[in-house]
Structure 1
């Protein structure tokens, strides 16, 4: 396991909330449903606020439902022109081939599909099975991939559906076009208390009741099922905490018509060195990178050399060169909500990997409606 070497200044990801309009109802949504939509100028001003505070590499456009924004294509183009990777977080209901083609031309890199349990969707039956949900995830990801855009999933982990985590892993490992998963644990709406230290520098004034599931449950699942621990983690604010608020897994997969082969990876010092090298070469840490077969192969070989499993890695890479084989790598990120500890303090990420801008301040996106309502 390696600690991700970001800090508040160098964290490479942010979220721009371009509209609060939405066309779905989700059980775990923490957002206030309003009709407010940001103009292109306001969105770019928000981005400038974040750029002054962070070395951003990837910008996620979210909402609400961002495909409801009339100027979505222009926003993607403007963000792309500023030198950022662009991600779109959407429920997929309004995705059409025409829109995807225009978004690709504008510079969109990845579509994060929020197709989840506890949603009321017109493209799924009431109380759908996990098989039906995964079928829709695959269908939408294939549509996105046909336009040369990468696909990922945004999911919510509910206590009553925790057993479906294996179904999620099976879905992404059997789908070559899904390469990124961002998962959050369902938490109750936060009670926001008054703290004198609520600011962009100390955004921990919001208190959530403990979520029914946490990242420690996810770690237990991967240890018992795959025999691996998380690849990387973001340290908590409380260094003595046993709970890591943000963890990630790296799962290379070899796809073929006869089946899919999963390669389990444990991180080593060389992997952290590669993360630091990316910043030295580009001036920023990487958050999203396009999936390239040769880069995946190189990472596996370097990892194998540093963890004593080079020949195993070499054999896997060699198999990927055979006709009819396709090598992909799945990155899974699991994030806790801020958790109230027994001593009454709040445990969350030492820095927020999903910050947004509100009223000229940079704050965690999950607390934005409560700490800095749109005015």
Structure 2
């Protein structure tokens, strides 16, 4: 497993009240079943537009954010999705639709763009049971990813991101997906890999106060048929088998383990044919601090027209070693002055880990915080809030038996 020292990277400054993103769930209804989903699919799961407005106002009151991930469920199933996008825009935040894309049409995309949509994060992986895509592996699904990327490119200046849940049997495809993203760096701005997690009943018991809780009713409970402890470092090591220079620049640590990588960001610069280098910790710190200084918010998503300005980013090579190296590599060929240099992000997310002492290593400064009963809570554990009113505590089985 790759040995990464967290102190070699920039610790992203995001926290509970001042972050890059907030997570809005206007619906729990979805038109697909994804194996790794942590939300129960409810047929009548739509919130009213008034409820959505109230939650947005709570975000405005309690938390700064550059963007709002409009998620679910699948937000495109909500009858008021266009109005929801407008409401986010009114509050001077960037609406990012987190969707499987199944309900997206060119006509709907036009209306969403008029409403102010800033970007899409498409969830595409092989564990979704997609109609017409069953039994396709992650590489074969690149055809579908490219379809959505081209849709957004044709609409113009809409950020395009893809995420996929990473399982033990799909890990092997990650290097190929990273390579595919680079080959479409002009269309794909962000790639996200979310490591599969589920309740592991073999190690811990769950409690609400003194009461032991049966977790069998929750959607993210299972006797795991696959690993639920894949680490970020393993994914980096895998990527480096085909791309040895792959080099992250920033991270979020765990709430219990400061040297764990819960969100690991890599920024890279290149063309469709070649990667020239990477963003370093000083460069990404400058981007975050400058955005906060000018706009009062930490940057979440950049406009596609800005990610095409990689040559401007190279100017930060004056104080960023990695960008300086990229500068000389790119301009080694003087004709590259006529080429466009693109920036692309690769993010690896390692959700909750249950540690040996029963503590829960969550994401410290998690961007995916949502609203429940007027409070800010972790979106990945909403089922606990809905079923029990609180996040549950965990203890090792030997402590409780």
Q: Deviation of residue 278 (structure 1)?
A: 1.4
- The offset of 1:331, in angstroms, is 0.9
Q: Distance in 2 between matches of 1:270 and 1:327?
A: 16
User: CA deviation digits over 1:304-324, x for unaligned, max 9?
Assistant: 6421762641552665542xx
Choose which of 5, 10, 17 in structure 2 pairs with 1:9. 17
The aligned length equals: 358
Q: CA-to-partner distance for each residue in 1:44-69, whole Å, 9 max, x for gaps?
A: 11111122221111001111111111
Residue equivalent to 1:249? 266
Quote how far apart the aligned CAs of 1:295 are: 4.2
> Is 1:217 aligned to residue 245 of structure 2?
no
Asked whether the equivalents of residues 69 and 96 of structure 2 are also in contact (C-alpha less than 8 Å), the reply is: yes
Structure 1 residues 25 and 3, CA gap change in structure 2 (3 angstroms):
same
Q: Structure 1 residues 290, 190: closer, same or farther in 2, change over 3 A? A: farther
* 1:98 aligned residue (104, 107, 126): 107
Deviation by residue 1:261-287 (Cα, 9 ceiling, x = unmatched) = 112315133431332121111111111
Q: Secondary structure at the match of 2:27?
A: coil
Instruction: Give unpaired runs (5+ residues) of structure 2.
Output: 1-8, 211-219, 390-401
Distance 1:121 1:311, change over 3 A: closer
Distance 1:351 1:73, change over 3 A: same
1:298 shift after superposition = 2.2
Helix, strand or coil at the partner of 1:236: coil
Q: SS of 1:163's equivalent?
A: helix
Q: Give the CA deviation at 1:168.
A: 1.1
Give the Å deviation of 1:234. Answer: 0.8
Pairwise CA distance, 1:343: 2.2
Is it true that 1:234 corresponds to 2:255 in the alignment?
A: no
- CA distance in structure 2 between the partners assigned to 1:308 and 1:327 by the alignment: 15
8 A Cα contact 1:193 1:207, kept in partner: no
Correspondence for 2:290: 277
Report what 1:129 is aligned to: 137
> Could you say what secondary structure the match of 1:168 adopts?
helix
Q: Name the structure 2 match of 1:201.
A: none
The 1:307–1:169 alpha-carbon spacing in structure 2 relative to 1, beyond 3 Å, is: same
C-alpha distance in structure 2 between counterparts of 1:279 and 1:118, whole Å: 38
Relative to structure 1, the CA distance from residue 156 to residue 293 in structure 2 (aligned partners, 3 Å threshold; closer, same or farther) is: closer
Does the Cα contact within 8 Å between 2:253 and 2:261 map onto a contact in 1? yes
Asked if the contact 2:28–2:72 (Cα under 8 Å) also holds between the matched residues in 1, the reply is yes
Instruction: Decide whether the 8 Å contact of 2:370 with 2:379 is kept in 1.
Output: yes
- Cα deviation for residue 122 of structure 1 reads 1.2
Change (3 A) 1:309 1:82: closer
SS in 1 for 2:141: helix
Tell me, yes or no, if the aligned pair for 2:183 and 2:271 is still in contact at 8 Å.
no
User: Is 1:345–2:359 an aligned residue pair?
Assistant: yes
Q: Secondary structure at the match of 1:155?
A: strand
Find the residue that maps to 2:169 and give its secondary structure: helix
Correspondent of 1:79 among 88, 91, 94: 88
TM score, norm. by length of structure 1:
0.88
Q: Distance in 2 between matches of 1:132 and 1:222?
A: 18
- Residues in 2 aligned to 1:245 and 1:73: alpha-carbon distance in whole angstroms: 32
Pick closer, same or farther for the CA change 1:274–1:132 going to 2, 3 Å. Answer: closer
Gaps of 5+ in 1: 197-205
Q: Is the 8 A contact 2:66 2:94 kept in 1?
A: yes
Question: Is the Cα–Cα contact under 8 Å of residues 100 and 122 in structure 2 kept in the other structure?
Answer: yes
State whether structure 2 residue 189 is matched by structure 1 residue 184.
no
- Secondary structure of 1:343's counterpart equals coil
What's the offset of the Cα at 1:15? 1.1
Task: Answer yes or no: is 1:356 the counterpart of 2:370.
Answer: yes
Q: Distance in 1 between matches of 2:53 and 2:118?
A: 18
Matched, 1:157 2:166: yes
CA distance in 2, matches of 1:21, 1:261: 41
Question: Contact (CA 8 Å) 2:307, 2:344: kept in 1 or not?
Answer: no
